[in-house]
Structure 1
């Protein structure tokens, strides 16, 4: 059974295979096929989502399948009565052929996969991981820049709580010659578990608090929001709010060859005036989620 619970299970070969499958869907070569016809997917979301849930559901429909959606499972399912995640997954797995799960607890997808009778795909587990977002980020970089190796990538913002940057850093380490620049306030540094994984992969990574000083030699600037929902108090969030903002002035320091990415939703960390800059790739990035999630579902649920 093929689960996708985190980035550590994705080696370079599997990443390249999934990205090639996504490209085939985007180019239309596979669009006439409906490989998941007659199959049913459950999207079980205990946290809010727009892009991830809609793109997974659109992907399943495009593959010929159908969807059962719990868009607020923490309120509208028996979780509100105290049912455990494991029991819910046991039951839901008996009705469907695959489960896409978003949950506030780190490791929830791993827990679900241990008991599920069908494939489980992690759509975000709190401040843990978001493997399909990292895959679509790689897909975007490859389309925009033509390669996934020998890149200098700046990951900026809330690296402590941002699951997208955690997963992306791991996947970038699968490709040779990449350099990571981790840009955050001291209190929002990348987690030690990711730093250890990067060291184990012999991945170059430098840390800085200076966004303006870091952008001049980047190939990719990956900006993220400060994760208000992960802070224990509004006062703590306010200390970091607005710490890094990408403005037109900052974009003048970013190389012409570079791209600006963001997993969205955007709050105030990218000035809307930047949207018109051709290097602003975040809306193109979001569109690629459809093709990548089609590829992931096709891989996980193929007979």
Structure 2
């Protein structure tokens, strides 16, 4: 995938196309990433953040009716919703493409795509990986989506590291087991990546995070070349550009 450097003239391949971002949960990074992707390809954007509170949904309008209305305004809809499965409902209703930008504790597929793209760029392969998923694994849609996607590659080992109360749910574990993925579960009392963690982390490894990191990664980690999370965020732009082009024009 060809990168677009800062200052590079924007493409015009999606000129005349309009994207609607319909966010029932606030998410500045994901929304801006999609909007930047669309604009860099020459398209235009209709945007709303926190539609749950400030749209007709607050008056009781169904998701299906909202989608039927918005599809009349735009060529593609990017939606984040607080309910698992909402993106599938929207896609079944809409006559235009719907991109799932996160649905409750369900899935976040574009995050998974940018995650595997980041891994491949940083490490150079996707087969034979050892991957540690750390934190709230029961409710984290980013780790759920990544687990599903990384299972498509060969000889992958996954370590689930979480408190007992938020262990990875059985549906993911059963799926990974069916794909022959080796699983290891650990519960530790502290889930902060700091300089002490870096001291024992292999030199060829990378640290990723969907952001915001809050207190999970200390700022003194940022200067380490293994800290890939800001590069990871930038990669989201390129992945979403590719996805918009694919859905609106074909490849």
Equivalent position of 2:161 in the other structure:
183
**5+ residue gaps in structure 2?**
none
Using the TM superposition, give the Cα deviation of residue 56 of structure 1 relative to its aligned residue in structure 2, in angstroms.
Answer: 0.2
User: Is the partner of 1:261 in helix, strand or coil?
Assistant: coil
Where does 1:52-131 land on structure 2 (aligned, <5 Å)?
52-131=30-109
Structure scoring higher RCO (CA < 8 A, sep ≥ 6) equals 1
Residue 160, structure 1, aligned to residue 160, structure 2: no
**5+ residue gaps in structure 1?**
1-22, 212-242
Using the TM superposition, give the Cα deviation of residue 33 of structure 1 relative to its aligned residue in structure 2, in angstroms.
Answer: 4.1
Equivalent position of 1:224 in the other structure:
none
Q: What do the CA deviations read for 1:17-44 (whole angstroms, capped 9, x no partner)?
A: xxxxxx124479x976422110000000
Aligned residues between the structures: 249
Distance 1:43 1:135 in 2: 19
Distance 2:28 2:121 in 1: 23
Equivalent position of 2:234 in the other structure:
287
Distance 2:242 2:76 in 1: 14
Distance 1:85 1:251 in 2: 45
Q: What do the CA deviations read for 1:166-209 (whole angstroms, capped 9, x no partner)?
A: 00011110111111111111111111111121122222221111
RMSD: 1.7
User: Is the partner of 1:117 in helix, strand or coil?
Assistant: coil
Equivalent residue for 2:223, pick from 271, 276, 293: 276
User: Is the partner of 2:200 in helix, strand or coil?
Assistant: coil
Where does 1:145-294 land on structure 2 (aligned, <5 Å)?
145-210=123-188, 243-294=190-241
Distance 1:33 1:266 in 2: 32
Q: What do the CA deviations read for 1:91-148 (whole angstroms, capped 9, x no partner)?
A: 1011110000000000000000010010000000011100000110111111100011
Distance 2:161 2:15 in 1: 44
Which protein has the bigger helix share? 1
Q: Is the 8 A contact 1:45 1:103 kept in 2?
A: yes
Using the TM superposition, give the Cα deviation of residue 262 of structure 1 relative to its aligned residue in structure 2, in angstroms.
Answer: 0.6
Distance 1:35 1:76 in 2: 33
Where does 1:132-151 land on structure 2 (aligned, <5 Å)?
132-151=110-129
User: Is the partner of 1:118 in helix, strand or coil?
Assistant: coil
